[in-house]
């Protein structure tokens, strides 16, 4: 009996200890109780008052860019001991979207979050994002350094700017110089040359330009590139206004071209089930002559064994469309600030956004990652960056402008998924006509 009591007491004591331990471990990063928002809006107070702000970006994990981002946050907190930054960043797209949507639905909007602007962001701009225009007007040194990308967060029928760029991306083609020397041809500048070059590579058993549409944004990116090169931004605008249709002769010709490339083996095998790791590895291993990839791929390629053999070209243009040959598909991702932030929290959030998007911070990114392209005007010492970045920047300098994805300008938010899924379906076996018709009928049933 005594033994039983002792055992019971011991178990209870252990439970109590565990409870105390777990409670003690909890809420380490939550707001301290005394940091309640006063709503004063007084910047002078912000210098003294302890505040905690949250940021939800895509920069987490162990990639050089993510580590640089984390280092910058630490540096910011060291310089501003009254501000605690809670980093909620998630690199995985699904996890990020789940987290963001749940945060919005529960009213726990992060003070700062990453997004890609455009029409898809318009509702956020109307309802939860802060207009940053007054801050941009107030600090010309900060706002003047940005490349012309602020229109990503600007709308014709909504005054203001609801985000600032934190990353700049564009899509190009990386190519293996050695393999091109092998076939004795120059990298393709036009779609017509692409076919000729590809035929040569097929002869020697090299895949011309494998793409991985398992992450189905790549098919959408390819269609955008082709459309910009062939018809320019006018086609995008016509599609949005309804003047042009997704299944008209122009668009059908682009779908058909993609299908022809697939059938000719230019885009590799098993497009729908292959992921980007596989095609990048094949490119590095010399099994694929070209890699159709964004600027975000630079760091991985720069670390590879063939870094000094990699060249970069613009996406091939159309011989019969010389006026739009230098138009690139590219854009920006950036930070928005929550409207909910008030007083010292708001001041801290704006301060952090300014800090993370300053020229100095992008210089730090450049030095830390030894490359990359950034959304601000800054002097880059060619010797300080890797050869792949140099090649990319040289190619990018030929661009006459950068435009977003075809559907990024459309008010139908679900159009992006629809187009990408349909293109994936086309690579899986659907005809170009069926693909184009499915997109057009979706538009017609959703157009307000």
DSSP assigned state of 113: E
Minimum Å gap between C-beta 98 and other proteins is 6
Minimum Å gap between C-beta 415 and other proteins is 21
Minimum Å gap between C-beta 295 and other proteins is 10
C-alpha pair distances (Å), 26 with each of 18, 62, 358: 12, 25, 34
Minimum Å gap between C-beta 92 and other proteins is 5
Catalogue the E-assigned strands of 227-363.
290-294, 310-313, 327-337
Output the furthest CA–CA distance in the chain (Å, rounded).
96
Q: Are 148 and 141 in contact (CB under 8 A)?
A: no
CA distance 75 to 346: 19
Interface residues toward other proteins, by CB under 8 A: 18-19, 21-23, 25-31, 54, 58-63, 65-66, 86-88, 90-93, 95, 98-99, 102-103, 105-108, 215, 275-278, 280-282, 284-285, 294, 296-297, 300, 304-305
Q: Are 227 and 216 in contact (CB under 8 A)?
A: no
**By C-beta, is 163 or 432 nearer to other proteins?**
163
Secondary structure of residue 35 in the 3-state scheme: helix
**By C-beta, is 21 or 382 nearer to other proteins?**
21
Minimum Å gap between C-beta 266 and other proteins is 20
Minimum Å gap between C-beta 333 and other proteins is 9
**By C-beta, is 105 or 383 nearer to other proteins?**
105
**By C-beta, is 297 or 330 nearer to other proteins?**
297
Token pair for 316? 């091939």
**By C-beta, is 63 or 363 nearer to other proteins?**
63
**By C-beta, is 25 or 249 nearer to other proteins?**
25
Minimum Å gap between C-beta 332 and other proteins is 14
CA distance 55 to 248: 44
CA distance 329 to 380: 23
Tell me, rounded to whole angstroms, the distance of Cα 167 from its chain centroid: 7
Token pair for 160? 């203001």
Q: At a CB cut-off of 8 Å and minimum separation 6, what does 43 contact?
A: 347
**By C-beta, is 62 or 397 nearer to other proteins?**
62
């Amino acid at each position: 009996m005594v033994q039983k009591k002792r055992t019971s007491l011991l178990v209870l004591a252990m439970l109590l200890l565990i409870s105390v331990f777990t409670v003690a471990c909890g809420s380490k990063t939550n707001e301290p109780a005394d940091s309640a928002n006063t709503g004063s809006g007084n910047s002078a107070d912000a210098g003294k008052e302890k505040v905690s702000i949250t940021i939800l970006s895509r920069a987490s994990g162990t990639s050089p860019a993510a580590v640089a981002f984390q280092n910058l946050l630490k540096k910011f907190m060291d310089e501003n001991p009254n501000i605690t930054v809670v980093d909620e960043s998630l690199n995985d797209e699904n996890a990020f979207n789940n987290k963001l949507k749940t945060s919005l639905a529960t009213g726990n909007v992060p003070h700062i979050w990453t997004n890609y602007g455009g029409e898809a962001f318009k509702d956020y701009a109307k309802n939860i994002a802060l207009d940053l225009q007054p801050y941009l007007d107030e600090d010309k040194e900060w706002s003047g350094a940005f490349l012309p990308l602020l229109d990503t967060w600007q709308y014709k029928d909504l005054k203001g700017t609801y985000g600032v760029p934190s990353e700049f991306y564009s899509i190009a083609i990386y190519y293996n110089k050695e393999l091109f020397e092998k076939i004795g041809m120059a990298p393709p500048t036009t779609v017509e040359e692409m076919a000729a070059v590809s035929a040569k590579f097929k002869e020697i058993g090299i895949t011309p330009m494998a793409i991985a549409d398992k992450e189905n944004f790549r098919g959408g990116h390819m269609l955008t590139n082709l459309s910009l090169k062939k018809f320019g931004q006018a086609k995008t605008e016509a599609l949005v206004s309804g003047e042009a249709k997704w299944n008209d002769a122009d668009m059908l010709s682009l779908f058909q071209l993609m299908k022809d490339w697939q059938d000719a083996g230019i885009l590799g095998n098993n497009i729908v089930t292959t992921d980007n790791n596989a095609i990048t590895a094949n490119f590095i291993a010399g099994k694929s002559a070209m890699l159709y990839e964004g600027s975000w791929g630079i760091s991985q390629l720069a670390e590879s064994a063939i870094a000094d053999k990699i060249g970069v070209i613009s996406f091939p243009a159309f011989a019969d469309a010389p006026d739009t040959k230098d138009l690139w598909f590219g854009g920006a991702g950036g930070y928005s600030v929550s409207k909910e932030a008030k007083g010292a929290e708001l001041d801290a959030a704006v301060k952090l956004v300014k800090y993370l998007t300053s020229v100095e911070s992008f210089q730090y990114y450049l030095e830390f990652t030894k490359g990359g392209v950034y959304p601000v005007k800054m002097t880059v010492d060619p010797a300080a960056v890797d050869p792949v970045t140099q090649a990319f920047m040289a190619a990018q300098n030929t661009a006459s402008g950068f435009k977003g994805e075809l559907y990024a300008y459309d008010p139908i938010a679900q159009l992006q998924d629809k187009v990408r899924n349909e293109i994936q379906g086309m690579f899986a076996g659907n005809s170009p006509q069926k693909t184009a018709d499915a997109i057009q009928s979706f538009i017609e049933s959703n157009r307000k």
